[in-house]
Amino acid sequence: MQPLFLYNTLTRKKEEFKPINPPLVGLYVCGPTVYSDVHLGNCRTFISFDMIYRYLVHLGYKVRYVRNITDAGHLEGDRDEGDDKFAKKAKLEQLEPMEIVQKYTVGFHDVMRAFNNIPPSIEPTATGHICEQIEMIKQIMDKGFAYETEGTIYFDVEKYNKDFSYGQLTNRKLDELLEGTRELSGQDEKRGRLDFALWIKAKPETLMRWPSPWGWGFPGWHIECSAMSSKYLGDVFDIHGGGMDLQATHHTNEIAQSQACNHKAPVNYWMHTNMLTVNGVRMSKSAGNGFLPGELFTGDHPLLEKGYSPMAVRFFMMQTHYHSTLDFSNEALQASEKGFERLMDSYSTLQTLKAGSSSSEDIKALQTKCYEAMNDDFNTPILVAHLFDAARIVNSANDNKLSLTQNDIDLLKTIYQNFVFDVMGLQTEQENSKANAVLAKVMSMVLDIRNKAKVDKNFPLSDEIRNKLTDAGVQIKDGKEGSSWKI
């Protein structure tokens, strides 16, 4: 097997991937906070890691893929106080906090399915791991890196930085970080400006609360990922992923928590996906420029000229490297839509290709190039370029402009199966199969009638049939060996 290289945020270098216990691989990805609909930016991260997961599996690794659901403790605002997001949203929608969680978890899963993402091996929730989080906080306190102020526990960043190094993930020194933060206001209970909450004391009106050694409260945001990742993947595991916006705070604090706990760096490879932008500006909840996946599919949004299918969107994302920003525009989306269609059409053509006695193309070399692209930090844009080469070869062979042996045809089928479907997770958009079977018969009959008209040189009739079919959304392609159609 060729070595796989991936970009490690921690070292800011492409490194060869060497799992701790091959063929086992531990992969943790920060999942969504389920207090509102997922928007497309989140989806990009999950689609990227779905592709990464799929490729690792394709290479033969046994991957335990953990992606959490944050359903508690994620605070509003920059201070570690006030209600959590669920309680706030619950008040707004007049629902129980757990009703909010349920509603948006279901919605999240629906969207993941639409994008053909494989569910993770384990999808733990924060509320299901309160004990583990309390236990971890206790350990951090025992090691002396956290302190209690009136029922709230804070992580002592400056003390931690004396023994370890805080902020390696963003390559920054503590002093620089301290300069960048705002002054502590009088009401703050924490000692250091960068200190963050591990456990937050519940107010009398707080709905989501749990008992702890420090009284009733709820966990801080960062501790859940540390607690759950170590529970399911061990104190040190292979890959931790998430969006780039989590790098500076959330992931930096995860490292601090784990290291304070057991004096080991928790993760060997940190991988971050880049942001999605709309007209050059980052799509985010706070900027309010995001559209929901549902709106994207239907086209029901002021920024969208039309709807785009989940697979066209997924393909669009695959045409950009996960580490680059991706700008959303109607033109770009429509270009991808057509390209995707061409690729999938060539796949159908491939199924009917007749073998020749010799080959003029080196399909094996093409396959090797596909692996090289993926082994170079999951370079899907290059992979796509090679797959379009394959499409060109298939179409040319179909036109009898070049010849392929049965072995080559079979190898092409393997390439499509492996890379288009298994690794990139694309799929043909299937309609109801029973209706399809009927339609196929009807179309075959219609094309027969039209063909007879053509033989009789009754072109007005054949053109009328073609035009009316076009209006109905069926495209006719006249080839040398008869006509074919597609929707």
Q: How many residues does the chain have?
A: 487
Distance set, CA 417 to CA 53, 89, 350, 387, 410 (Å): 16, 44, 12, 11, 10
The distance of closest approach from Cβ of residue 43 to RNA in the complex, given in angstroms and rounded to an integer, is 8
CB closer to RNA, 120 vs 138? 120
CB closer to RNA, 138 vs 367? 367
CB closer to RNA, 138 vs 208? 208
The distance of closest approach from Cβ of residue 253 to RNA in the complex, given in angstroms and rounded to an integer, is 9
3-state secondary structure of 334: helix
- For the chain, give percent helix, strand, coil, nearest 5: 50, 15, 35
Peptide bond into 23 cis (omega under 30): yes
CB closer to RNA, 96 vs 327? 327
The distance of closest approach from Cβ of residue 399 to RNA in the complex, given in angstroms and rounded to an integer, is 5
The distance of closest approach from Cβ of residue 2 to RNA in the complex, given in angstroms and rounded to an integer, is 17
Tokens at 122, concatenated: 């384990």
Phi then psi dihedrals of residue 115, to 5 deg: -85, 5
CB closer to RNA, 61 vs 322? 322
Got the DSSP string for 7-74?
A: EETTTTEEEE---SBTTEEEEEE---BTTS---HHHHHHHHHHHHHHHHHHHTT-EEEEEE-BB-S--
CB 336 within 8 A of CB 287: no
CB closer to RNA, 239 vs 275? 275
CB 98 within 8 A of CB 33: no
CB 199 within 8 A of CB 137: yes
**Radius of gyration of the CA atoms of the chain, in A:** 27
Closest CA to 392 of 406, 368, 412: 412
The distance of closest approach from Cβ of residue 483 to RNA in the complex, given in angstroms and rounded to an integer, is 7
CB closer to RNA, 171 vs 417? 171
CB closer to RNA, 150 vs 183? 183
The distance of closest approach from Cβ of residue 131 to RNA in the complex, given in angstroms and rounded to an integer, is 22
Closest CA to 223 of 201, 190, 256: 256
Compute how many other C-beta atoms are within 10 angstroms of the C-beta atom of residue 18: 11
The distance of closest approach from Cβ of residue 231 to RNA in the complex, given in angstroms and rounded to an integer, is 20
CB 241 within 8 A of CB 52: yes
The distance of closest approach from Cβ of residue 320 to RNA in the complex, given in angstroms and rounded to an integer, is 4
The distance of closest approach from Cβ of residue 254 to RNA in the complex, given in angstroms and rounded to an integer, is 11
CB closer to RNA, 2 vs 324? 324
Q: Where are any strands of DSSP class E within 165-216?
A: 196-201
